[in-house]
Every structure is written in C-alpha cells, then in structure tokens.
Chains A and B, each alone.
Chain A
Amino acid sequence: MALWRPDPTFYPSPREAVDAPPETLAYTAAFDRSAQRPDAIAVVDVDPDSTSYGSVVGWTDLPNTGDELHHFGWNACSSALCPNAPHPHVERRYLVVPGLRSSRIHVLDVKDDPLKPSIVKVIEPEELAERAGYSRPHTVHCGPDGLYVSALGGANGQDGPGGIAVLDHDSFEVVGAWEADRGPQHLAYDFWWHLTQDVMVTSEWGTPSMIEDGVNAELLLGREYGHALHFWDLRKRRHVQTVDLGDEHQMVLELRPAHDPTRTYGFAGVVVSVEDLSASVWVWYREDGEFKARKVITIPAEPADSSALPPVIAPFGAVPPLVTDIDLSVDDRHLYVSCWGTGELKRYDVSDPFNPVEAGSVRIGGIVRRTPHPAAPGLPLAGGPQMVEVSRDGRRVYVTNSLYGPWDDQFYPDGVGAWAAKIDSGDDFTIDERFFPHGDDFRGLRPHQTRLQGGDASSDSYCYP
C-alpha cells in the first residue's frame, strides 16, 4: 500500500541521512554449512537501552536448505526520491535475500512483525535462469527503476558470464538481464553506481566453478581470479571501460562509491596480491573523461610459523590479511577495512580519498592470533571481522565472522565458529563489551551480512548533495 508521505527512512541527501535516528534492530543472514537445516535471517537487538541488547531476539527460517545466504538488500531506499523516476511513497519493508548457492531469491516482509520477518515470495532459480540467464545471485541494490541483483554465474549449463539481473520493484519478478552490451566483462561480483552521473561500476571475483570448491591455488597462482573494475553507462546499459588493477591483485570484491552524488570516486577492496600476500584498497576516479584507479592502502601479510597455519597458506609462512569487505561511512569520512585473515578491523580517515590516514584498529579473531572478544576474554575466536556494516550516523560498526562456506573451511579448518561484534566509532575506536552474540545464539549457523533497520551505509544511494 502506498504511503501519503515519503517513507521516513528515505533521505534526499547523505547530509540528512547522517541525522537519522539510531537503529534498534539488525538483520543478519545466517547459513548452515552442512545444508541440513534451513538458512535463516536472525534478528539482533541493537538498542543499547533494551534488556536484550546484543542478543538474537528474532528468527525466520527459510523454506529450503542449502541456500547459503550471503548478501541481501532492501526493496526500496533513498534512491526512490531521485527526480527522474520518483516513487517516494513506496515502503522500505521487504528484504530481498538471495541464496548464493541455491540461486533462489527470497523476499521477506519485516513490517508486520519486525522480530519475525515473513517470507512473502520465493523466486526459484529457474525464473532467474530463464529470464536473465544468471545464477548465484549476490549483491542487491535498490535502483530508481527497479531492483538490481548481481549474479556470479551464468545459467542453463553456462558457468559464466556473471552479470546483473533486474527485478521489478513491486512484483519482484525477474525482468531480465541488465546489460545491453557487456563488452569484455565476464567475471562478476559486486556493483554499485554513481547514480546522478549515470555510471555503473562492477567488480570481479570468479565464476561458480572457480569458487564453489574453495579457493583454487592453481587458479590463484595462475592469476585467473578477477583483477579489474568495469565501468558502464548506467542509462544505456553498455560497458564503457575496463580498468585492470594488475593481475597480481586477485579478487576485486566490495565497491563503495562516495555517497556524495557530486563526487566521482569510490573504493574497491582487493583480497590478496599473489606477489606478497598483501591486501589492498584502491580508489577509482575520473580524469579527463577516463576512469582510473590508484592503490591507496596496502596491508602487508603477517609472518607466522608454518605449523600454525592451515594447509592452504602453510607454504607461505605468513598470514594474508584477506581484505574481504570494506565499508564507507555515509559522510564519506571513514573507510572500514576488514582483515579476515589477520583478525583486524581497520579504520581510515578518507577525507582525502587519495591519502587515507589510519585512524584506529581493533583486533578480534584471526587465523593465528585468535584474539578473544573483551566480553569473553578466555574464549579464543576463529574467523575474523568480515562483513562490515556502518550505521547511518557513522557511530556504530557491526561485523560478523563468516566469509563463504568452503573458504571458511580452508582458512579456519578447525571451525570458523559464529560471532558478531560491534565497534563504537567516535574519537575512540573500541569494541563494545556489551555486544557479543556468538556460538549457540546463531543456532549452529554462520552469520554473514548484516542490514540495519531503516538503512545503513551500504544500502542507500542519494540523488541530491
């Protein structure tokens, strides 16, 4: 049902979104690695004044097993206020939740009972395959004219190319593949845009055969995972330019464009360099009409005794930081970088995007360090800060510890466990001791992406500065 006034969670500009009220609930995707039990959306109480603060207070099982929930997004966001196709009276009430392994896309309604979202629609893999030619749906963004869902794989017997499918805003039916001309693009992973500039950006991981059995050392050392950014004309749906970061930079994952719609830059995280196991963060920008990218952060590997390392990295005698997620605050001031291998979350001041200044770091988990959470100092933690989500006001940062089923098992072979943590980001940068859902709180499932009620730093795009 349409509203009479715009959904109160929509903001014309990032400046206004920063003043949004603090979230009280968080939705976290959780999956069963064994595919014996259904995956779920866990609802976490994030209201510090609540007696159940920091615990899982709601739960919705999915109807099937083996989905491997990963990333997800809202049906509508601040882009609904964009002037070219405005529809501000829709509600932000549905979570669009793809299964990365099953290729099913679920639609959950959080309005009637925010603690127990109800499943209102399941798009079967066949519909995605028939209409869009894709499988392994991943990132979801609410666009001005539909829902955009990236997909890692092809369909109908094809491993690739991956790309982007468009879903109808209202019926959630798959409309089709987004690309009119994909040019040389074959690998897919994340995407986002400069909405007011008609620019789409996509990144590269690998096709299903390259990732679903774990990281493949042969492919990695052969430099065959993704190492480029793609720039597209968002209106004409055409590939415009490839920016190759260099094939030593393997796996270009998360994309975080500036929220300020008048700026044309953004950050991309690279998981690992095959030359020295370092991870890096790049800035893309436009100069004389051309897109370019520059490495602005390098995080070196940490030397370690081979006997303490899992077989996948034992020969190297070092722990790669494995930057698997980054997130940019709504005011474009802070970039958060998760180092899933070394168990560290770094904060950078990126007021000058070309010269990031490290402005805080917390340690938790890690392949070798196993740093405990301050709430349970005797409990060594596996996994590391992985998915990062930042509140709209930029004061609270939430992390979860699982990366992706088979990769969890390779890097944390004795079990990745399950935990979430919250870091207070102000003048200081410290782990909140009161917030530590872990272990049985997630009922044996592994937590992945978190979405905050009302929107967060990676959910909304803005058309006005």
Chain B
Amino acid sequence: MNDGSLVALVALGAFHGLNPGMGWLFAVARGLQERSRALVLQSLPAIAAGHAASVFVIAAVVTVTGSVLTSRIVSIGGGAVLVGFGLWRLLSRRHFRWVGMRLTLWQLACWSFLMSSAHGAGLMLLPVLTHGAVTAPGHAHGMTPGAGSAVTAAVFVTGVHTLAMFIVAGTIAVLVYEVVGLAVLRRAWFNLDRLWAAALIGAGAATLLIAV
C-alpha cells in the first residue's frame, strides 16, 4: 500500500467519523439520556465495531475477488456499482429508518452496521481497495498473493479506516457532550448526505478512470 492510499484511507475514516448520522450523535444522546459520560464512551466502540463490520464485508469481497479476477475487471465493475449507488444516494429522498432509541450495545452495533451499509461507507473505499491494497500487506510480509493475503489486506484496510473513524467520532462525541453542547447541531450540522453522495460518485469515477 502506498502512502497516498493510506492517507486516503485515514481521511475517509475521519470523514465517516465526522458525520453525526454515522454514530457519534447517538453516543452523545445515550449519554445525555442517562446523564452518564460512561455511556457515551461505552457506545463508541459498539458503533465503531458495526462500522468496521460493514466496511470489512466490502473490503473482503473486493480484495478476494481481486485475487481471482484481474484488478481491471474488479475496478470497472466496482466503479460502475459505486457511481450508480452514489447517484441513487444523491437522488433518492428515502432516509434510513430504525425506529428504536433504547438499544443494547449489541443492537447499537447492528444499527451502526446497517447505517454504514445503507450509506455505502465501505463502497467509498473502492479506489483504495482496487488500487494497490490487494498486494501491499502480503508483499510486505513476503507472502504470495492469494485469497489469504487478500483477507489480510481487507483486515488492514478495515482496521486503519475504522481507527480513524473511531478517533474522530470519539473526539467529537466527548467534546459535544462535555464542552460544546448540542446547540452546535443547529449551526454546524451540514448536509453531509449530499457531500457523501458526491464522494461516492467521485470514488467510483476515480476507480473507473484508473482502470481504463
């Protein structure tokens, strides 16, 4: 994996962590409901775990497929899917629904998994996955490329991305809970959905361009 890919991976993690809809806001809400900072802190790993699971599914599918097929086919196919999904996110007016507020940590992780999957969090990593990640970790350890190293690559990508997401989401959650207060939502909750959709389309286009 080259430095550029790593930076992209971390940046996308930070972007996902920043989005209130991806979980930090839920952690804050749970803490405020019970007036407990501990609950904020407990919620964050569950949210990160759900996010990681969602990203890992995509990362594993792409890297394992990539170890069997040529990366060009994966890139073109994946890129097309990504552009399509991004356009759907941009144009669709449906929003995610999960009706409950009182969730166990396990349910919270499931919520996070569904939320990340519905928003295509893993798909957004496609350019990184198809452009270098398949070979990098395996080669670093002198392993031959194959399904095994592909899974290792997927774990690596998921880990780096989720760590960045977790740090950003955690920092914001604690800051909002302890210092800033939720009034900030009214001013600073920008419509990331559109930016998000644009990022998906951009990622898909980039994947296609590199492949073709």
Q: A4-B190, A196-B29, A261-B33 are in contact. Are A84 and B101 (CB under 8 A)?
A: yes
Q: Which of A85-93, A273-281, A282-290 contacts B (4 or more CB under 8 A)?
A: A85-93
Question: How many residues on B have C-beta within 8 angstroms of the other chain's C-beta atoms?
Answer: 33
Cβ-neighbour of B99 out of A85, A196, A261 (below 8 A): A85
Check A234 against B185 for contact (C-beta < 8 Å). Answer: no
| Nearest CB on B from A380, distance (A) | 47
Q: Is the CB of A3 closer than 8 A to any CB of chain B?
A: yes
Q: Contact string, A426-465, partner B, CB cutoff 8 A, digits 1/0?
A: 0000000000000000000000000000000000000111
- Closest A residue by C-beta to B195: A4
Give Cα distance in the complex from A198 to B103, angstroms: 10
CA distance A464 to B187 in the complex (A): 16
Is A376 located at the chain interface by the 8 A CB criterion? Answer: no
The one of A2, A84, A234 in contact with B193, judged by C-beta atoms closer than 8 angstroms, is: A2
Chain A residues positioned under 8 Å from B35 (CB to CB): 262, 465
Q: Mark A73-85, 1 if CB is under 8 A from B, else 0.
A: 0000000011111
Cβ of A2: which chain B residues have Cβ within 8 Å of it? Answer: 191, 193-194
| Contact residues, B1-41 vs A (CB, 8 A) | 20-21, 25-26, 28-29, 32-35
Cβ of A10 and Cβ of B186 under 8 Å apart?
Answer: yes
A407 to B7, CA, bound (A): 70
User: A170, B185: Cβ atoms under 8 Å?
Assistant: no
Q: Judge whether B99 and A234 touch: CB under 8 Å.
A: yes
Q: Are A262 and B191 in contact (CB-based, < 8 A)? A: no
- Interface flags for A87-120 (1: CB within 8 Å of B; 0: not) read 1110000000000000000000000000000000
A12–B183 contact, CB under 8 A?
Answer: yes
Complex Cα–Cα for A144 and B132 (A): 41
**Does B141 count as interface, using CB distance less than 8 angstroms?**
no
User: B183: nearest residue on chain A (CB-CB)?
Assistant: A16
Separation of A415 and B104 alpha carbons in the complex (Å): 57
Is A84's CB under 8 angstroms from B20's CB? no
Please give, as numbers and ranges, the residues of chain B lying within 8 Å of A8 by CB-CB distance.
Answer: 186
Check B25–A145 contact: CB distance below 8 A.
no
Are A86 and B99 interface neighbours, CB within 8 A? no
Residues in A whose Cβ lies below 8 Å from that of B20: 83, 86
Given A85-B95, A170-B94, does the pair A5, B189 have CB atoms closer than 8 Å?
A: yes
- Asked if A6 and B99 make an inter-chain contact with CB atoms under 8 angstroms apart, the answer reads no
Chain B residues whose C-beta falls within 8 Å of the C-beta of A83 in the assembled complex: 20, 25-26, 28-29, 101
Q: How far is the CA of A8 from the CA of B35 in the complex (A)?
A: 26
CB B107 to nearest CB in A, in angstroms, measures: 10
Contact status of A84 and B182, CB under 8 A, knowing A5-B191, A197-B102: no
Residues on A with C-beta less than 8 A from B29 are 82-83, 196, 463-464
Query: Assuming A4-B190, A88-B185, is B101 touching A195 (CB within 8 A)?
Result: yes
- Digit string of B80-115 for contact with A (CB within 8 Å is 1, else 0)? 000000000000011111111111000000010000
The chain A residue sitting closest to B30, CB to CB, is: A83
- B102: which of A85, A169, A196 is its contact (CB, 8 Å)? A196
- Interface 0/1 of A1-39, CB less than 8 Å to B: 011111010111100100000000000000000000000
In contact, B189 and A88 (Cβ under 8 angstroms): yes
Min C-beta distance of A248 to chain B, whole Å = 35
Q: Measured between alpha carbons, how far is A195 from B172 in the docked complex, in Å?
A: 24
Shortest Cβ distance from residue A368 to the other chain B in the assembled complex, whole angstroms: 48
Evaluate contact between A465 and B185: CB separation under 8 angstroms.
no
Given contacts A83-B26, A86-B25, contact A198 B100 (CB under 8 A): yes
| CA distance in complex: A84, B115 (Å) | 9
Q: Mark B102-140, 1 if CB is under 8 A from A, else 0.
A: 110000000100000000000000000000000000000
Q: With a CB–CB cut-off of 8 A, which chain A residues contact B103?
A: 84
Give the 7 A-B residue pairs with the shortest CB-CB distance, closest first: A235-B100, A145-B97, A83-B26, A12-B182, A83-B25, A87-B95, A83-B29
